[in-house]
Each structure stands twice: as structure tokens, then as C-alpha cells.
Chain A
């Protein structure tokens, strides 16, 4: 059975993640050069950008798993969706906090409404908090799964709409902040790409742990219900 393989896979994946994150930290603090104008603060980038990628990937998984759940009605997809949504909300929270911390010294403000990426991240956070609230507050076993799946799909489709509407909204007004230059020395670029890779593996590990937890929780619930119904038979 798959169950037999899950524990070793979990262990191996955890080990790999630990090593990768260790290398990533080394690269960030010792390999990548210190940026000329922003200084040490710029190192936030190596955490901010990968975190944002993980968050977006996580919501992509919610979207995909939602569609697969509605088609197949297999609960496993729903376990995957809820696990991914929780990780996504967590990472979006980090993105917003790290972004603010970076913006304060560099842009001289905690928050700007002029960058569609910022506003979209914030709206994304709200959408998936609503998703988690649906999961905890809606009664009915199958109903809340379907409802959450549909909301996850609609929420993800809504993201580009939010992005472009904020973009159009703000281009009418003068732009305060320029795009950050994409050209950077190869050491920085390599560190950034490695950080993204390490964080993706971290995401996979967390997702696996959370997924196993969710399916075990459901299994316990089923067993309990089963024994309850047996007891009432008497």
C-alpha cells in the first residue's frame, strides 16, 4: 500500500528540504553580494520573491485540485486543496509582511496602492481566508467540499481580473514607483533562483505533511462515526 511508502518519503523529503534551506541561507548571506544602494536590506528579496512564488503555486494547486474534485468526487483532491490553501494563506501572510519590511527603508513607506502586485496579494489573502472560513463554517460533509472547490476556482479566476483592474486604476494616476530593475549580477540571480527552488521543495514537504494529516483526520472521523452508528444499532 501507499501508506507504507509515505513515512520514508516524508523523512527523505524533510532531509532534502533541510539541506536545501541550509545551502540557501549560506548563499543568501555569504555568496550573494551586498546590493550597492539598498544594502543588507535587499537580502529580503531572497525570501520575499520565493515566498510569493510558493503562495501563488499553492493557490494554483487549490484551483487544480478543486476542478479535479468536482469532476471525480474523490475526497483526496479535496484534502489536497485544503492543505494547499492553508499553506498558501500562510505564505501570502509572509509575503505581505516581508514586502512591507522591504518597502519601508527602500520606498520609504510600508504600503503603496500604486503597485498592482501588492494590492493583488492583499486581495488574494482575503479571498483565501474566506475560503478557509467556508471550510470551517459550512455544515454538511459533501456540501462544504463542493462549495469550497467552487469558491477556490472562482477565486483563482478572479486574480487576473483584480490584477489588471488595479493596474488600469493606477495608470490613470501618475506612477510613484518604478519597476525594480531585473538586471542583477549572476551571483544574485543564482541565489534567487536557488532560493525559489529550495522554497518549492519546502512547499512540497509541507504539503505532504498537511495532506497526510488531513486524510488521517478524516479517517479518524469516519471510524468514529462508524463505531457510533454501530452502538446505536443496539
Chain B
């Protein structure tokens, strides 16, 4: 029942978003453009790029996801649609899960396009540990999107939503950022594989915390 409800929310949101594909398209274009921009400004040689590769890989994805948060479901603001959604006999947790899945789908599509572009420009051999890289990309995007969707929905009533969201989530996401940058570095250059299990543990724990907690908190926080 719960999952059926979240799938309904997901279906509804995706239908709205795919009617005008501008959001997904602009997220992809932004990520790729920023990727190119970073490669140009850093203009690093093979040795130096090792230090910044994880950042160059992740920053476009994270910023693109961040820009997507507040625009995804923007139709909710029109005609008081959000109130309608909250009145509907749907579990609030299911609303969160549905929105999370929708945003996540968009970010995954961005990842699928942005990461190959990264390797294309980097003139770098194929990642040594592709499994670890995919794992990190999956859970890293998941954690960031969970955090983002939660706080963006809450910050809708703020007068500075678009600015408040990054100010709120970036400090909270420091453990997540450290975990994904370390794991990405390990996946790209496997010579430094110290403490990999620790970071995997941190990443998984962080994701569980920020996926489960909002499911319950949404109910308290979103009252009509």
C-alpha cells in the first residue's frame, strides 16, 4: 500500500515533467557544460588531475542535482497543488519516497551522461575498479538527493528557498562528501585503498539515516 502510493506519486510527477522535458534536458546540459568548464579552468596534467579527479567528477553532478531539487515539482506551487496533495489520503512518507525516486531518476540520467563525458575528456585509462565506482555513484547520488528532497520540500515556505537549500544541506552533507570523494579516488586510482570498508560503512549508514528519518518526519512537518 505504502509503496503503491509512492509509485503513484512518482508516476504523477514524471508525467508532469516529461510533458515538457526542459528540466531533465537542462540538468544534463548544465552538468556536461560544467564538466567542460572545470576541465578548462583546472587544465591539469595527468599527475595533477589525480588530486582533483573526484571533485571534477562529482561537482557537476551535485550542482545539477541541486538545481533540479527546487525545480522538480515546481508545478506544485501553482494553484495550491501542494495543499491538494497534502489533503489527499496518501501517507506523507509515501509522498517523500515518491519525490525521492523521481529526483533520483533524473540524477541517475545525469550521471549516466556526465560520467562518460568525464572519462572522455580526462584522457585517463578506464577506471580500475568499475564496481566500486558504480556503487559510489549510486549511493552518493542517493544520499545527496534524499537530503536535498527533504530540505527543499521543507524550505518551500522560505523567502530565500533556492539559497537556503544549499546553505542547509552542504554542511550536513560533509560526511557524505568525504565518503564519496575518498571512495571515488580509490575507484579511479586503486593504489590508495586504505580504509575502504570504513567509508563504505559510513556511506551506507548515512543513506539509511537520511532515507528513513524523513519518512517519519514528513508527517510531523507537513501539516496543512
A226 at interface, CB cutoff 8 A: no
The smallest beta-carbon distance between A155 and chain B, in angstroms, is 7
CA distance A48 to B174 in the complex (A): 25
Q: How many B residues touch A, CB cutoff 8 Å?
A: 29
CA distance A126 to B194 in the complex (A): 30
Q: How many A residues touch B, CB cutoff 8 Å?
A: 31
* Across-interface contacts of B199 in A (CB, < 8 A): 168
* Across-interface contacts of A161 in B (CB, < 8 A): 175, 202, 206
Binary CB contact string for chain B from 84 to 125 against chain A (1 if under 8 A, 0 otherwise): 000000000000000000000000000000000000000000
* Across-interface contacts of A147 in B (CB, < 8 A): 154-155, 221
Please tell me if the beta carbons of A154 and B178 are within 8 angstroms of each other in the complex.
Answer: no
Decide: A150 near B221, CB < 8 A? Known: A133-B167, A137-B164, A166-B178: yes
Residue of B nearest to A172 (CB): B194
> Taking beta carbons and an 8 Å cutoff, which residues of B are in contact with A?
154-155, 157-160, 164, 167-168, 170-172, 174-175, 178-179, 182, 192, 194-195, 198-199, 202, 206, 209, 213, 217, 220-221
A104 at interface, CB cutoff 8 A: no
* Across-interface contacts of A150 in B (CB, < 8 A): 154, 217, 220-221
26 contacts between A and B (CB under 8 A): A70-B220, A123-B171, A127-B171, A129-B167, A130-B167, A130-B168, A133-B164, A134-B158, A138-B158, A139-B157, A143-B157, A144-B157, A146-B221, A147-B154, A147-B221, A155-B171, A162-B174, A164-B175, A165-B174, A165-B202, A168-B178, A168-B198, A168-B199, A168-B202, A171-B195, A172-B195
Q: In the complex, given contacts A127-B171, A127-B172, A138-B158, what are 12 additional A-B residue pairs having Cβ atoms less than 8 angstroms apart? A: A130-B167, A134-B158, A134-B164, A138-B155, A146-B221, A150-B220, A154-B213, A155-B172, A157-B209, A158-B175, A165-B175, A172-B182
Please tell me if the beta carbons of B157 and A126 are within 8 angstroms of each other in the complex.
Answer: no
Which residue in B159, B206, B220 is a CB contact (below 8 Å) of A139? B159
